[in-house]
Amino acid sequence: MSAPDLYGFVPITDDDETIAALLDQVSVPTLLCTMVHLTGDPSWIRDDTIKPAGLFLNEYQGFMSEEAKAEARARALPEILAFRDRGGVLPPPPGPELIHEMMCFIGCADIPDDVLPMMLSELNLDGTGIPSPDAPPITDDRRDFPVVVIGCGQSGLLAGIKLREAGIPFTIVEKNAGPGGTWWENSYPGARVDVGSHFYCYSFEPADHWTEYFSQQPELRQYFEAVMGKYGIDAHCRFNTEVTEAAFDEATGRWTVWVRDENGTVEALPARAVISAVGALNRPQLPTIDGMDDFAGPSFHSIRWDHNVDYRGRKVALIGAGATGFQIAPTIADDVAQLTVFQRTAQWMFPNPNYHEPVPDGMKWALRHLPYFGRWFRFLILWPGAGTDLAGPRVDPNWDDADGLSVSERNLATRNFFLSFMADQIGDDPELLAKVTPDYPATGKRTLQDNGSWLGCLTKENVELVRTEIDCIEERGVRTVDGRFFEADIICYATGFRHNDYLWPMEIRGRGGVRLNEFWGDEPGAYLGMTVPGFPNLFCMYGPGTNLASGGSLIFHSECQITYIMECVERIIRDDLRMLEVTEEAYADYDQRLRAEIGQMVWSHWSIRNSHYKNRNGTIHTLSPWPLHVYQAWTRQPDFEHFHLVGGATRGE
């Protein structure tokens, strides 16, 4: 059997020496799994002399010794040459038990049976469900089923691909001029993803071209543009157009969605179902600081980075240093005359030596030419941060947390590990170490990836980290409450987003004209993060309670959600439903379970005063507390017992 072309494997044409040199750069644990496919021989993963010694997030070589890696490569080379010479013919594929064994091997762990279904579908070795770029024709039963998707970021684009595949007419309304959402908008210096790129992509569009292990914004933007083009989604998009309101009509089972384009022209779009894919971290949260309008120079929020302003040789004040500020500061530090970073709360960071590393040619080659190498590399990245075990962020009720610094023995160990990483980098500067040491438990907010660039930046002569509260902004700079004045030519507000204001500022009116923002108040919720009682045929992607603070990728979550939503949409079409609406009971039960669970997690801990995960009352409605495999199992198929299904859409009953 030839290597299937599911993921675009390209036949090998390189000569022996070239291949030998390229193999020096590959992830060896990944190679060993690949060799089982290429040879049909399981001994590659059973030989204790060449075996990963352990796996840790972003560790691609499994702590194998240099000798073991060299041995594995030397053994693999002739087999790869033979595979090339026989024209890419593969032996019969490994069976399910061997696949499980391979997972345990590369993950250096026992992959439990309950996690297995998620891991198998992630690996997707047989390419199940890969969408075709060719759209089927729209059939008569679907012609009168227009769907409006709000937003063309990663989730909206995904919704478009699935709707197109199902032959359902749809329109994606996007406020930006192109796709990609956050990766379209955030163009600030240093913007890059902090989930490994080979996992932070659609499972069916794995992309072997990433130039860095953690891609920068321009490459991510290109990726989403390329996917849009491949599946012909652009023909369905209305860019530079914003949804302002949407209202549901119970009598007809139809939504009307009002949109306003860049010229201010307003139009009403009919929809039988609406999918909100608006993202949760794109509406800027500007601070309210006295004198902000008095500043004489340019000032902007990080998501509105003004590329017309040349920061080189200027004095820059960076207000806010969460995930965004953390990336901006090291990127611009060498180019500015002075950088003053105002940070209200210190951040925890996770050591990641690969954070800025390019993907070597050998890895790119293996991803492109060795069947299944890409699938196993994705697994290797996914598994250690898969969020299948949430014991780490869980608060131990018997733990003495009176100092607010840890929530369990494991959490204290994490704190000490992170602290030693920070102390090693700072060296002999106890004052700086005290300034950058968080006063809340490790992982309590979003833990940032770091390869030393952040702390390295803070030790530069022209950089100052200010932890003192800001008093006001004046014409020429920023003054802190202790009276110090920091001159600035440019101010960047990296102060985050209105995370708790879901679907804001749109006005969404459901049955009886109930407004969604009033229904939610300060406590947004959705059954499985997707559906809300009173709002039939409305589905959220990346809705309340679905952000991830403990590993995983939002694209994974979006794939779970669209699977579920498409099942709902198909049910509406099949039964000609006027309304598919989650019951109050299912919603309340889910919400209560989610709150109970999230309340036991470190993110809710009392010691964390400022966190965009929390609402103004300090409770959390933004995050998912569920392990990824549990969420995937729940979203594989809707349980229609949890919905009111009201028929008679076209008959107008």
The Cα 190–Cα 323 span in angstroms is: 11
The Cα 139–Cα 25 span in angstroms is: 50
Q: Which residue is nearest to ligand NAP (CB)?
A: 322
Identified binder of ligand NAP from the candidate list 240, 256, 345, 600, rule CB under 6 A: 345
The Cα 420–Cα 437 span in angstroms is: 11
* Closer by beta carbon to ligand NAP, 284 or else 360: 284
Binding letters toward ligand NAP, positions 265-284, x by CB under 6 A: ----------------x---
* Closer by beta carbon to ligand NAP, 400 or else 482: 482
Please identify which residue in the block is written with the tokens 């009919």. Answer: 270
Angle between helices 116-123 and 373-382 in degrees, nearest 10: 140
Output the smallest distance, CB 611 to ligand NAP, in A. 6
Residue 387 CA neighbour count, 13 Å, CB half = 22
Identified binder of ligand NAP from the candidate list 93, 167, 270, 287, rule CB under 6 A: 287
Output the smallest distance, CB 404 to ligand NAP, in A. 15
Beta-bridge partner residues of 645: 580
Of residues 439 through 458, those in contact with ligand NAP by CB under 6 A are: 446
Identified binder of ligand NAP from the candidate list 146, 253, 320, 452, rule CB under 6 A: 320
CA 565 to chain centre: 19
Output the smallest distance, CB 212 to ligand NAP, in A. 12
Identified binder of ligand NAP from the candidate list 203, 324, 531, 615, rule CB under 6 A: 324
* Closer by beta carbon to ligand NAP, 155 or else 327: 327
* Closer by beta carbon to ligand NAP, 314 or else 499: 499
Peptide bond into 505 cis (omega under 30): yes
Are 577 and 647 in contact by the 8 Å Cβ rule? The answer is yes
**Where does residue 557 rank: exposed (0-12), middle (13-18), buried (19+ CB within 10 A)?**
buried
The Cα 341–Cα 352 span in angstroms is: 23
How many residues form the binding site for ligand NAP (CB under 6 A)? 23
Q: Which stretch binds ligand NAP (CB under 6 A): 81-89, 323-331, 374-382, 526-534?
A: 323-331
Output the smallest distance, CB 550 to ligand NAP, in A. 12
Output the smallest distance, CB 294 to ligand NAP, in A. 17
Nearest to 273 by CA among 246, 292, 299, 298: 246
DSSP 357: P
Q: In angstroms, what CA-CA distances link 434 with 437, 467, 562, 573, 605?
A: 5, 11, 45, 60, 22
The Cα 76–Cα 626 span in angstroms is: 40
Strands 254-261 and 273-276: unpaired
DSSP 511: G
Q: Which stretch binds ligand NAP (CB under 6 A): 137-145, 331-339, 417-425, 489-497?
A: 489-497
SS3 613: coil
* Closer by beta carbon to ligand NAP, 252 or else 345: 345
Output the smallest distance, CB 488 to ligand NAP, in A. 15
The Cα 87–Cα 12 span in angstroms is: 8
* Closer by beta carbon to ligand NAP, 148 or else 323: 323
Identified binder of ligand NAP from the candidate list 100, 209, 283, 344, rule CB under 6 A: 344
Residue 496 binds ligand NAP, judged by CB under 6 A: yes
Residue 315 binds ligand NAP, judged by CB under 6 A: no
Output the smallest distance, CB 551 to ligand NAP, in A. 13
SS3 83: helix
Output the smallest distance, CB 498 to ligand NAP, in A. 10
Binding letters toward ligand NAP, positions 607-646, x by CB under 6 A: ---x-x----------------------------------
Identified binder of ligand NAP from the candidate list 33, 119, 321, 506, rule CB under 6 A: 321
Binding letters toward ligand NAP, positions 185-224, x by CB under 6 A: -------xxx------------------------------
Q: Which stretch binds ligand NAP (CB under 6 A): 11-19, 58-66, 165-173, 341-349?
A: 341-349
The Cα 42–Cα 384 span in angstroms is: 23
Q: Which two tokens stand for residue 622?
A: 């933004």
Are 122 and 115 in contact by the 8 Å Cβ rule? The answer is no
CA 48 to chain centre: 36
Q: Which stretch binds ligand NAP (CB under 6 A): 129-137, 152-160, 343-351, 534-542?
A: 343-351
**Where does residue 610 rank: exposed (0-12), middle (13-18), buried (19+ CB within 10 A)?**
exposed
Are 245 and 509 in contact by the 8 Å Cβ rule? The answer is yes
Residue 557 binds ligand NAP, judged by CB under 6 A: no
Identified binder of ligand NAP from the candidate list 494, 582, 594, 601, rule CB under 6 A: 494
Identified binder of ligand NAP from the candidate list 322, 351, 477, 627, rule CB under 6 A: 322
Output the smallest distance, CB 303 to ligand NAP, in A. 8
Peptide bond into 441 cis (omega under 30): no
Amino acid sitting at position 201: C
* Closer by beta carbon to ligand NAP, 203 or else 611: 611
Q: In angstroms, what CA-CA distances link 629 with 184, 204, 340, 620?
A: 30, 18, 43, 21
Q: Which stretch binds ligand NAP (CB under 6 A): 159-167, 205-213, 339-347, 574-582?
A: 339-347
Q: Which two tokens stand for residue 254?
A: 């139809």
Identified binder of ligand NAP from the candidate list 217, 408, 495, 561, rule CB under 6 A: 495
Q: For binding to ligand NAP (CB under 6 A), which residues are involved?
A: 192-194, 281, 287, 319-325, 327, 343-345, 446, 494-497, 610, 612
